[in-house]
Structure 1
Amino acid sequence: MSDATLTIDPYRLPRHVVPTRYELRLEPDLTTAIFTGQVTITLTVHQTTQAIILNAVDLVVDTARLEGQDGHRIEATTELDHSLQRATLSLGRPISQGAWKLYLSFHGKLNDQLRGFYRSTYKDQSGTVQTLVATQFEATDARRAFPCWDEPDFKAVFATTLLIDPQLTAVSNTTIISESMENNKKVVRFADSITMSTYLVAFIVGRLETTKPAYVGKAPIRLWTIPGKQQLTPFGQDIATASLKFFEDYYGISYPGDKLDLLAIPDFASGAMENLGAITFRETALLVDQRTGTHAELERVADVVAHENAHMWFGDLVTMSWWNGLWLNEAFATFMEMLAVDDWKPEWKRWESFSVARAAAFSVDGLVSTRPIEYPVRAPKDADAMFDILTYEKGASVLRMLEQHIGPTVFRDGVRQYLRTHAYGNADTKDLWTSLGAVAHQPVPELMDGWIFQPGFPLVTAEVQGNQLRLSQQRFTYLSQESTTQQLWQIPIQIRFTIRERPEHHKLLLTERETNIDLPAGVTSIFVNEGGHGFYRVRHQGALLQQLLDQGLERLAAIERFALVSDAWATTIAGVTPLPEYLRITTHFKSERDKNVWAVLLDSFSFLNRLISPGDRPALEAFVCGCVRQAVDELGWDPRSDESDLVRQLRGDLLGALGKQGNDAATQHEAADRYQRYRKDPTTVDSNIVPALVAILAHTGDEARYDEFSERYRTAATPQEERRYLFSLAAFCLPSAATRTLEKTINGEIRTQDAPFIVGALMSNVYSREQAWDFVKANWDQMDRLFPKQGLRRMCGGIVGLATPELEEDVRSFFTSRKVDLGGKTLEQYLEQLRVAVLFRERDGATLRVSLQRQQSGVSS
C-alpha cells in the first residue's frame, strides 16, 4: 500500500514502521526544570513509505533525520499534533523496506503533574528544599519524555544514558555499565534492557541513598530513599527478596532483569509502578518502621511490594497487546501478591483478609452502571478508568475462584505454560484461558468469559423444597433493572452439608437459571459458598439462615462468617433483606473476634451514620456501643503475649469504633490518657491502637488539638505517622478545622498526591460534608489543574457521602453543568452509589429510627 491508502486509526499507530531498539540520552536540569535529549531508534520498515508517525506530546522536536544501512541520510520535517499526541515525520523522498535508524533531538519541561518526566520536591534534614526527578509512564506518558512508539505491543530494547550533576545519583531499568565525565556532567550509561514496552522505561535522578544488596540468584535487590530514611527499609527489602524467590519458583522462570531496585519517591500519584528493574513507590507503600508500624501498615507494604514484583513476569516479561488487557496485568498481580504474602506470613491469613477487598469490589459491581472487567478500549484515555477496584479486586477474585475450581497445582502449571509461550512478547486474555484450559483439560474460556466480558455478578438463592436444595441465580443489583434479569454465569459452587456435626462437601457448576440437589438424610445445616472464595452473593432463605445462626456461628470458618454477614448487608441495601432482620443478625456477632468480620459490621454502621438525622444519632451510637462493648471489654486496651497480629489490629479497630461511631465518653477519656503516655514513651502503647487514639482525639478535638496534629503531620518521623496525622485533619468535627484543612489542599501545605484523598475524606465526614462540597464547587477549576487526574477521580468518590436528597440534586446539577468526565463509567458509578444511599434513606429511614429506639429501650430496660 502507499501512504495515501494507509488506514490510520487516530488512537493506534500504523504498523508499517516498527522500532526494535532505542538508544536514549537525556540531560535533566533540576534547577531550571527542563530536559534535553537525543534518541537513536533502530527501525524495521515493512513497506515503502514517505512518512513516519510516532507519539510525542509536550515536547519540542529540534531535529529529525533518517539513515539507511548504506549511510544515506534523509532529513525530515516534523509536525506535532497535540490532540492526537503524535509527531509526523515527513521525508524528502520515499524510503524502502529494511533496517533504518532514526535520529531525533528534542527538549521538554520537567512537569509537576506526577506523570511523564516530572519533579518531586522534599525538605532535607536541614529544612532545605531538594528536588529529584522521576518517571511515571503508564499508561501512555512515555511520549512526554521522549518521542517513541508508545503502545504496549511495540516492544523494543532500551539503552539509556543520563547526563547529571556529579553530586546526584541516577537509577534506571538496568545496571550501570560505565560512568564518566563530560562538560562537568556525570555521564551514566546503563546496560541494554530486555525487549519491553515503553511504559516500563524508568529513570530517577536525585540525592539518593541505597541499602546493601540482597540477592535472588545473581540479581541484587536494593531499596533507595531520599537521605535520612534508610532505617525504614529492612521490612521492604525482606518482602522484596522473599516474594521474588517465591515468584521464581511459582512461575518456573528466573527473574528477567539483571537487578531489582525499589525506589521510594516523595511525590507519586499511584501506589507503585512496575518498571522493570526500577520499581517506583509512594513512600507509604515501601518504607515502614517495623517497631511502630501497625499490622495494617506492614501488610500494605508487603502487599504492594509483592504485587509489583509479580509484574516482573506478568506484565513486563509478557505484556498485554493493547490496553483492554490491562485488567489481566493488574488482576493477576493482585492475585499473586496474596499468594506470595500468604506464603511469607501464613499467620496473617491473607486470603481471609482479602475478603474485605472482594466485598469492596462487590459494592461497585452491584451497580447497574458497573462495567465488564475487560471492555473495548479505543482511545488510551479510556483505559485510565481501568485502574479501579473492578480491575484489581474483582479480577483477582475471579482468578482465585478459578484456581480453587481447577486446583492450585493445575492453575500454576497453566500459568507457567502461558509465560513460557509468550515470554518477551504480548498476549491477550484468551491466551491465558487457552493455556489454563489445556493443562486443566476443562473448557476454561467458556467458564470465564461470562465473568470477564459481562458486567455484574450473580446472587445465588438457596432454599429447601421438600427433600431437595434449590439453587437459583440472578444478577445482583442494588437498583432494580429489568434488562439484567437474563444474564447467566457458569458458577463454581461449593456446598457444605452438616449431618449430625459431620461435614459433607458437594461441588457443582451452576450453568442454568436454577437446579435442584437431593439432600443427604439427616442434614441439620447447609452453607453455600464453602471456603468463601466464590465471586457471588448468597441468600440463605428462610430456615437455612436461622439454622446457621442457631447452631452457632463459631462452626463456620471466619471467611464464611464474613461472607454471611457481608451478603446479608448487601441484600439489605438492595431492599431484599429487611433492615430489622439485618440489625438482628448483627447481634449474633458480639462474641466475634475476627477483624474481617468486624470490618463489614463497622462499615455497615458507618453507612447508617451517613444517612441518619442528627437527632437520631445518639440512638445509633448506643446501638454501636451495644454491639462492640463486649468484645472491647474482653480484649481490653493492652495486648497479651499470646495474641496474633490480627487480634491486635482488631483491638485498634474496635476501640476506634467505640470512641468515634459509639461516641463513648469513657473510651474517649482513656484514649486521651493513653495518647499522652504514648507521646512521652511510645513503647508503653501497642502500635496497633495508636491510629485509633489519633482518630478519637481528632473526632473530639478542639483548635489546640488541631494545631498539634497539624504540626505532628509536618514533622512526622515515618510515612505512616505522617499519613495518620494527615487523615486525622479530615476527622475533626469543628467547621473551623474543616476550613483550614480544605485550604491546605490547594495552597501547597498538603502534597498534590494526597490532597484529593483528604478532600474526599472531608466529603465523607458527616460533620464537614456540606462545607467540603461547597469548597469543591468553588475551587473545581484550580483542583482540576493541580491534582493528578487519578487523584481527582478518587476525590470525586467522596460525593457518595453526600447522602441527602438535597445534596444529591446539587451534585448532579454541578457535574452536569460542568460537563465533567472522569473517564469510563467512574462518575456514573459514583452518582449511582449516591442514589442507592439516598434511596435507602428514603425507604428505610423511619424503620431505622424505630429499630434503634427499640434496641435502645431494650438496653435501658
Structure 2
Amino acid sequence: MPDASTNPHRLPSFVVPSHYRITLEPNLDEATFAGNVEIEVEIGQATDNIQINSVDLQISSVVVRDAVGGETAASEIAHDEDMERATFTFDSELSSGPYTIVAEFTGILNDLLVGFYRSVFTDDDGIEHTIATTQFESTHARRAFPCFDEPAFKASYGVTLVVPEDQFAVSNGPEISSTSLGEGRKLVVFEDTMVMSTYLVAFIVGPFEATAPVDVDGVPLRIVHPIGKGHLTDYALEAGSYALRFFNDYYGIPYPGQKLDMVAVPDFAFGAMENLGCITYREVLLLVDKSRSTEPELLRVADVIAHEIAHMWFGDLVTMEWWNGIWLNEAFATFMATMCSDNFNPDWGRWNQFSLERSMAFDVDSLANTRPIEFEVLSPVDAEGMFDLLTYDKGGSVLRMLEQYLGEEEFKDGIAYYLNKHKYGNTETNDLWDAIEHVTQQPARRIMDSWIFQKGYPLVSASISDDGSTISLTQDRFLYTGGDSADSTIWSVPVVLKVGTSSGVEEVRYLLEEKSAEINLDAPADWATANAGGSGFFRARYSSDMLKSLSSTMFENLSSIERYGLVDDTWSSVMAGRTSASDFLDFARSFQAEIDLDVWTVLSGCLSSLDKLVDGEAQLQYKAVVRDLAQPGLDRLGWEPSDSDTPRDLELRGLFIRLLANVGDDELAVKNSVDLHDSYLNDAGSVEPNVAAAVTGVVAAKGDSAQYEVFMEKHHNPSTPQEERRYQSALSAFPGEAEMDRTLAMTLDGTIRTQDAPYLLAVCMRNKEQGFKAWQFVKDNWEQVNKDFPSNSIVRMLSGVTSLSAPDQANDVLAFFEDHEVPQGQLTLQQTLEKLRVNVALRERESDSFINSLTS
C-alpha cells in the first residue's frame, strides 16, 4: 500500500473519528439540503488546524468542543476543491485528547448520481415524484457531510432526517422515532450503526413503501420500493432471505446489522451498493415478476442480492485499509454470491456459468494494458478506476481456484478465522493469506501473491510423452499480441490434471512454480486435460496429438465446464493468431451434438465473431454452416417449453433461436420469432419468458419503422423493469438509419435515464449496420456525454467501440482518443482501444483465408 504520509490525497492520521451525529434536512423542491454534523474525534498531537474531506458543501461554522465542554470556534474555514477537503484553522493550538467537531453546512442535491443526489420518476398514473438518495462509494460521502472519508477511519453513525411528513425515510439503522415538527415536516431518528467506513452510510427520502418485515434468523428484512410496485417484491424477499441465512451459516458470524432494508432506487449509477442495513439497488435488479422473467434475469437478481448481502461481512464488518485493496471486498462478494446462487437454485449450474465471467476477465488480462488485481491507488479518480472486471471477475476467479486447490471446507474455515480476527477492523491482502495459512497450514501466500500482485496470467502448454508415462508442462504469459515468449513472468499455478488411462480416470495435482516441469504418471496416459474442473485461472494449449485425443473423448470423459474451457482456450488461440479461423470452425463442427448451455454460449459468441469476417457468397455459405450446427439443438428442445425442461433448457432454447435467426438467417426461425412476438404483444403470458426475450431481439434485428413504433410503445409502458430493459436494449438493434437516429437522440434528451443511457450507447455501437453512426454520435456529443452521464459509466459506454473493427472505423476511434482522455478510467480506456486493435488484426489476418475456405 502507498505510504499514507506521502500521499497528498490522504488526510493526516493524527485526528481519528469515533462517532458521527448527522442531521440533514433535504428540500426536494429546491434540490438543496442543510445539515449539522457532530464528530467525536481523538486528536493525537497538538495542532492549530484540522483537515477534513468536503466537496460542494458550504460550511458556515465550525466549533470544536473539548471533553469538559469548552468551545473553540474556527477562525478560518478554507476549501480546497481540487483536493476535496476543508481546513479548519484555530487561533489557539488544540492539545491532544478527545474533542467533538461541530459543523453547520448546506449542499446541493445533485444530478450526478453520487453523493446525496435527487432522482425524479413518474408513477403509473403519470404523476412525477422526486426522491433524495445516496451513493457514497468510493469517495462521495464528503458531498453529503464533512467527514474523514477514508475507509480506515471507521466510526459509528447516528442519523437524523427532517423530511416532509408524507415522505418515507430510511437509513442504516432502524428507525427509533418519528416526531411531527408542524408545517408538514417530521423528524426521523435512526439508531446508531456499528463501527464502519463513511462510504457505507446511506439515507433515502421519498414516496416509498416497504413490505412487511420478514424475520430471518432474528433480522427483519424488508423491500423498500417506489409506491405502487409492491407486487414485484416477492422474489427479492425469497432470494434475500436465503442469502442472509446462507451467509450467517457459512461465515459462522451473525449478520452485523440490526435490520436489513433492500431499497429499489429509480436512478442508480451502479448495479447496487452494500450500505450496511440499507442496500440500494437499481429497480431492474431488485423488483421482478418471477412468472414473466427469463432465467438470466432471475439469476442476475439473485446474484446481485447475494453479492450485496455477502458484503455485510466482507467489506462492511471487515474492510480494506485503502482502495488498492478493494478486491478484498469485491472479489470475495463475487465469489460468495456465485456460491450462494448455486445453492439457492442448483439447476442454474451457477459455477459452470461462472466460466463466462472468468472468460471476460481473461479477455482483459490478455492485453498488454492489463494491471495486477491489487494496484496502486493515490487519488479518488484512481479509486474509481478500480471497479472493473479484474477486481471483480479475475479476483473472484483466483479465489475459486484457491478454494478448489485447498479444499472447500479448509478454505471456509480460513475465511471464518479471518473475519473473526479482523471484525470491525481494516485489513490488507497479507492478513487474508495469514489467516488461511494459519488454519490450513498450506502456502496460500506463496500461491496467491503471483496472482494478486502480477498482471496477466499464464498459458500452460501440455504434452504427453510417446510412451504416455509423463506429462510435460510449460508456462508462458498469454498475450493477444507480441507472443507469449516476450514476458518471463512466472506464476504459482495450481494445476489439476484429469488423466485417462487403461484402468480409468485419475486426478493429479501439481503446483507449477517454475517455467517447466515433467510429471510422472502411475500408468500410461491415453489422454489428459490440464484444467480439470475448469477452476484454474490459466489457458491450456495441447500438442496436436493431445488435442486430437481430447476431442475424440470429450463427450464421454470431459465435464461440460471442461468442454467449455476447451472451446474458450481454442478461440483465444484464434484471437492471438496461433490458430486459423477455418481450423476453429472445423473444431466447432464437432460440437453439433453438444447439449450444455454454457458450451453453447461460448460457441455462439465465437460464431457471431466469425460472421463479421465474411461477406457475399462466403457469408451465405457460412450461415448455412451455422444453421447445420444449431438446428439439431433447437429440434431437440422444440420451440414450445415442456414439463421436462430445466432452467438451463429454457435459456438454451432462447440461445438457439437467436443464433439461428440472427447469425444463421434461418427463414423459419425469423418467421416464428415474428409470430411469437405478435402473440406476446396480445398476451404476454402466452409465450415462455426466455423465448419472449429471444424473439424480441430477433424482431428488432430484422425490424422496420413500423416495428420500431411498437417497440417504443413497449419501452415507454412496460409491465416490469425487466421488460423495459429488454425493449430498451432492442431499440439499439434495428438496422435502419432513421431508427438508430431516434434511439441515439433519446440518450441525451432525457427520454432514457442517465443511469441507462451510457449502456444503451454501448450496444448501439455494436449494431452491425449502424454501429459507426452511434460512435459518431458519441464523438459529436462528447462534451455533453461527459457532463450528463455518471463518471463511472463513460468507460463502460466506450466498450462498444471494440466492435468497430473495419480499419477505417477503428482508425477514427483511435485518432479521437489521441486528443481526448477519460481521467476516471484511463487504463480501462487503453484496454478498450487495445482490444479494438486486436479485433482489427483478427479481421485483417483471417478474413481472406476464411472466405477462401468457405468458397473453395
TM-score (norm 1): 0.97
Q: Of residues 37, 50, 53 in structure 2, which corresponds to 1:52?
A: 50
* 2: CA distance, partners of 1:660 / 1:323: 43
* 1: CA distance, partners of 2:581 / 2:464: 23
Deviation by residue 1:240-277 (Cα, 9 ceiling, x = unmatched): 11111111111110000000000011110010000000
Range that drifts further, 493-502 or 390-399: 493-502
Residue of structure 2 equivalent to 1:254 = 254
Cα displacement (A) at 1:522: 4.7
Residue of structure 2 equivalent to 1:169 = 168
Q: Of residues 18, 39, 42 in structure 1, which corresponds to 2:40?
A: 42
Give SS of 1:764's match: coil
Unaligned runs of 5+ in 1: 1-5, 855-861
8 Å CA contact retained: 1:211, 1:223: yes
Unaligned runs of 5+ in 2: none
Q: Does 1:600 align with 2:602?
A: yes
Q: Does 1:808 align with 2:806?
A: no
Residue of structure 2 equivalent to 1:527 = 529
Q: Does 1:500 align with 2:502?
A: yes
Give SS of 1:653's match: helix
Measured at CA, do residues 260 and 399 of structure 1 come closer, stay the same or move farther in structure 2, by a change above 3 Å?
A: same
Residue of structure 1 equivalent to 2:280 = 280
Give SS of 2:488's match: coil
Measured at CA, do residues 615 and 806 of structure 1 come closer, stay the same or move farther in structure 2, by a change above 3 Å?
A: farther
Residue of structure 1 equivalent to 2:78 = 79
Cα displacement (A) at 1:639: 1.2
Residue of structure 2 equivalent to 1:101 = 100
Q: Does 1:205 align with 2:205?
A: yes
Give SS of 2:255's match: coil
Residue of structure 1 equivalent to 2:799 = 797
* 1: CA distance, partners of 2:5 / 2:395: 34
Cα displacement (A) at 1:501: 6.8
Report the AA paired with residue 57 of structure 1.
V
Deviation by residue 1:615-636 (Cα, 9 ceiling, x = unmatched): 7433332232222111112211
Cα displacement (A) at 1:519: 3.8
* 2: CA distance, partners of 1:84 / 1:611: 49
Cα displacement (A) at 1:466: 2.6
Residue of structure 2 equivalent to 1:238 = 238
Cα displacement (A) at 1:851: 2.4
Identical counterparts, % of pairs: 43
Cα displacement (A) at 1:125: 2.0
Cα displacement (A) at 1:555: 2.6
Deviation by residue 1:504-536 (Cα, 9 ceiling, x = unmatched): 111110111111123444532212111111000
Report the AA paired with residue 113 of structure 1.
L
Range that drifts further, 770-779 or 306-315: 770-779
* 2: CA distance, partners of 1:431 / 1:822: 29
Residue of structure 2 equivalent to 1:413 = 413
Give SS of 2:751's match: coil
Residue of structure 1 equivalent to 2:456 = 456
Cα displacement (A) at 1:554: 4.0
8 Å CA contact retained: 1:611, 1:837: no
8 Å CA contact retained: 1:20, 1:157: yes
Written as runs of structure 1 = structure 2, the 5 A alignment for 1:690-701 is 690-701=692-703
Measured at CA, do residues 841 and 761 of structure 1 come closer, stay the same or move farther in structure 2, by a change above 3 Å?
A: same
Report the AA paired with residue 201 of structure 2.
V
* 1: CA distance, partners of 2:486 / 2:412: 34
Residue of structure 2 equivalent to 1:376 = 376
Measured at CA, do residues 13 and 636 of structure 1 come closer, stay the same or move farther in structure 2, by a change above 3 Å?
A: same
Cα displacement (A) at 1:482: 7.3
Report the AA paired with residue 579 of structure 2.
T
Give SS of 2:90's match: strand
Residue of structure 1 equivalent to 2:30 = 32
Written as runs of structure 1 = structure 2, the 5 A alignment for 1:144-155 is 144-155=143-154
Give SS of 1:149's match: coil
Report the AA paired with residue 66 of structure 1.
V
Give SS of 2:734's match: coil
* 2: CA distance, partners of 1:383 / 1:755: 23
Q: Does 1:354 align with 2:365?
A: no
Range that drifts further, 672-681 or 318-327: 672-681
* 1: CA distance, partners of 2:706 / 2:675: 16
Deviation by residue 1:435-492 (Cα, 9 ceiling, x = unmatched): 0011110121111000000001110111123332111110000001578521111111
Measured at CA, do residues 449 and 649 of structure 1 come closer, stay the same or move farther in structure 2, by a change above 3 Å?
A: same
Report the AA paired with residue 106 of structure 1.
F
Measured at CA, do residues 797 and 422 of structure 1 come closer, stay the same or move farther in structure 2, by a change above 3 Å?
A: same
Count of residue correspondences: 849
Residue of structure 2 equivalent to 1:658 = 660
8 Å CA contact retained: 2:478, 2:484: no
Q: Of residues 1, 6, 9 in structure 1, which corresponds to 2:7?
A: 9
Give SS of 2:671's match: helix
Written as runs of structure 1 = structure 2, the 5 A alignment for 1:258-657 is 258-467=258-467, 468-480=470-482, 484-500=486-502, 502-613=504-615, 616-657=618-659
8 Å CA contact retained: 2:464, 2:525: no
8 Å CA contact retained: 2:627, 2:664: yes
Report the AA paired with residue 144 of structure 2.
A
Cα displacement (A) at 1:352: 0.6
Cα displacement (A) at 1:326: 0.4
Measured at CA, do residues 824 and 778 of structure 1 come closer, stay the same or move farther in structure 2, by a change above 3 Å?
A: closer
Report the AA paired with residue 25 of structure 1.
T
Deviation by residue 1:131-153 (Cα, 9 ceiling, x = unmatched): 11110000000000000000000
What RMSD in Å do the two structures reach over aligned CA positions?
Answer: 1.4
8 Å CA contact retained: 2:613, 2:846: no
Cα displacement (A) at 1:824: 4.5
8 Å CA contact retained: 2:264, 2:282: yes
* 2: CA distance, partners of 1:823 / 1:696: 34
8 Å CA contact retained: 2:617, 2:855: no
Misfit runs of 4+, over 6 Å: none
Written as runs of structure 1 = structure 2, the 5 A alignment for 1:739-778 is 739-778=741-780
8 Å CA contact retained: 1:368, 1:481: no
Give SS of 1:589's match: coil
Measured at CA, do residues 519 and 742 of structure 1 come closer, stay the same or move farther in structure 2, by a change above 3 Å?
A: same
Cα displacement (A) at 1:684: 2.4
Deviation by residue 1:529-568 (Cα, 9 ceiling, x = unmatched): 1111100000121111111222342431110110010100
Give SS of 2:526's match: strand
* 2: CA distance, partners of 1:618 / 1:81: 63
Measured at CA, do residues 39 and 557 of structure 1 come closer, stay the same or move farther in structure 2, by a change above 3 Å?
A: same
8 Å CA contact retained: 2:554, 2:563: no
Residue of structure 2 equivalent to 1:65 = 63
8 Å CA contact retained: 1:469, 1:517: yes
Report the AA paired with residue 99 of structure 1.
P
Residue of structure 2 equivalent to 1:817 = 819
Cα displacement (A) at 1:385: 1.5
Cα displacement (A) at 1:14: 0.1
Report the AA paired with residue 65 of structure 1.
V
Q: Does 1:838 align with 2:840?
A: yes
Cα displacement (A) at 1:679: 2.0
* 2: CA distance, partners of 1:274 / 1:657: 37
* 2: CA distance, partners of 1:567 / 1:482: 14
8 Å CA contact retained: 1:24, 1:40: yes
Measured at CA, do residues 614 and 797 of structure 1 come closer, stay the same or move farther in structure 2, by a change above 3 Å?
A: farther
Give SS of 2:58's match: strand
* 1: CA distance, partners of 2:822 / 2:337: 35
Report the AA paired with residue 187 of structure 2.
V
8 Å CA contact retained: 2:67, 2:99: yes
8 Å CA contact retained: 1:266, 1:282: yes
8 Å CA contact retained: 2:67, 2:98: yes
Measured at CA, do residues 706 and 353 of structure 1 come closer, stay the same or move farther in structure 2, by a change above 3 Å?
A: same
* 2: CA distance, partners of 1:265 / 1:552: 47
* 2: CA distance, partners of 1:611 / 1:584: 16
Range that drifts further, 592-601 or 192-201: 592-601
Cα displacement (A) at 1:663: 1.6
* 1: CA distance, partners of 2:328 / 2:814: 33
TM-score (norm 2): 0.98
Cα displacement (A) at 1:852: 2.8
* 1: CA distance, partners of 2:832 / 2:18: 43
